Amino acid sequence: MKLGLFEIILIELVLCLLLWVVDEYTASLLCIILPIICFGVLVIALIAEWIEPSKVPRLFFKALGVSIIIPLITFGIYFMIFGSIGWLEG
């Protein structure tokens, strides 16, 4: 079964929102760390692709871009719904 970009977006969005509901401390750390790591991998992959083109599908680059944006979107959704992050308030 091959997943398209839309399915990847939905799966990642649901998993991130579920993580926010279950444990907001872990979710907040992952929403900071995951986009940074994905951005680094995307930059290195794009530089490598620019130097020597390969047969890596474009879906890989799109999925990395989505993995940068979705955690930030879920953070925004959670913050708009609940108004604050509980573990920061003490």
Residue 52 in domain: yes
Which sign does the torsion angle of CA 12, 69, 30, 24 carry?
Answer: negative
The stretch 28-46 carries a mean pLDDT of 93
Residues 6+ apart with CB under 8 A from 73: 13
Residue 89 in domain: no
pLDDT band at 20 (very low <50, low <70, confident <90, very high): confident
**pLDDT score at 50:** 93
Residue 90 in domain: no
Residue 47 in domain: yes
pTM listed for this prediction: 0.82
Evaluate if residue 86 carries a pLDDT over 80: no
**Helix 58-82 × helix 24-51 angle, to 10°:** 160
Residue 32 in domain: yes
- What is the total count of domains within the chain? 1
